[in-house]
Amino acid sequence: MLLANSFISVEDEMFSPTQLGRAAIASSLPPEASLAIFEDLNSASRAIALDTELHMLYLVTPINVTVWQECDWHHLFALFSKLPADHRRIAKLVGVSEKFILDQLQGRRNNKMLQVHIRFFSALALFDLINEMSIYQVSHKYRIPRGCLQTLQAQSATYAAMIVAFCLRLGWTYLKALLDGFAMRLLFGIRSELSELVTIEGIDGQRARILHERGITCLSHLSACESSKLAHLLTLAVPYSR
């Protein structure tokens, strides 16, 4: 399999890894997953949408999402019907269709496309999380148990880092640049402007947002801030208790 799928090459009876093989090793991806991801990214790179982060987020959402215990297709159809035009365009790009959802409602199964649709709705939930909708709101909106949603968030953060490493080893620098940073944002559930602040130990998304709103937007601002002011700002992010 490794030789047939160009993970290794043979020269003078010596085996050596190809660029694809090195990418799989660097990203800790098994061969089967590497092939699927290669096709996924290679296809997307020819027509990637940049007017919304949803398409890029879809690419760093695990291909085989397993956190959805059962799909409420009636609810997912209602969500799909309310999607804005740019999100519907992404849905079409990745192979999601209203017809498939209606088929699910009528009991007609198509396992080949099922994972694509589950992945897309997972990406929608993650999209809301990185736009700082609370995990409780996202859980309610998509009817995903909070524990499952947190698992999806953690898995996607890890997967995003693996995808960036994969792109880097393949020399796909432009795609790597587009996807870089999503791992951190998924981990903390933040917008891009907070990415620098959450690199400081002890500063989570909520604290970073409060600091950013008070004009502390980067590490240099943070280092120049008086300790008394910083202590006051950080207390604003702590829930009140008696």
- Cα dist. 91→65, 84, 87, 241 in Å? 17, 11, 6, 44
Largest CA distance in the chain: 75
Q: What is the pLDDT of residues 208-218, one digit of tens each?
A: 898 898 888 88
Residue 232 CA, distance from chain mean position: 33
Give the number of other Cβ atoms within 10 Å of residue 229's Cβ. Answer: 11
Q: How far apart are the first and last CA of the chain?
A: 63
Q: Output the DSSP codes for the chain.
A: -TTTTTSEEEETTEEEE-HHHHHHHHTT--HHHHHHHHHHHHHHHTS---SSSHHHHHHTS-SS----SS--HHHHHHHHHT--HHHHHHHHHHT--HHHHHHHHTT---HHHHHHHHHHHHHHHHHHHHTT--HHHHHHHHT--HHHHHHHHHHHHHHHHHHHHHHHHHT-HHHHHHHTTHHHHHHHT--GGGTTGGGSTT--HHHHHHHHHTT--SHHHHHHS-HHHHHHHHHTTSPP--
Provide the percentage of residues in the chain whose pLDDT is more than 70.
Answer: 96
Give which of 173, 162, 141 is closest to 24, Cα–Cα: 162
Alpha carbons within 13 angstroms on the beta-carbon side of residue 26 total 18
Domain boundaries, the chain: 31-185, 194-235
The predicted pLDDT at position 149 comes to 92
**pLDDT under 50 in the chain at which residues?**
241-242
CB-based contacts of 13: which residues, under 8 Å, 6+ apart?
A: none
Residue written as token pair 């709103």: 213
| Amino acid at residue number 148 | C
- Residue 224 token pair: 């120049």
Residue written as token pair 């499952």: 148
The predicted pLDDT at position 19 comes to 84
Could you tell me which residues are beta bridge partners of residue 16?
Answer: 9
Angle at 40 between CA 187 and CA 172, to 5 degrees: 75
- pTM for the whole thing? 0.88
The predicted pLDDT at position 185 comes to 94
- Of 1.10.1660, 1.10.3380, 3.30.70, 1.10.1200, the CATH number of 31-185 is 1.10.3380
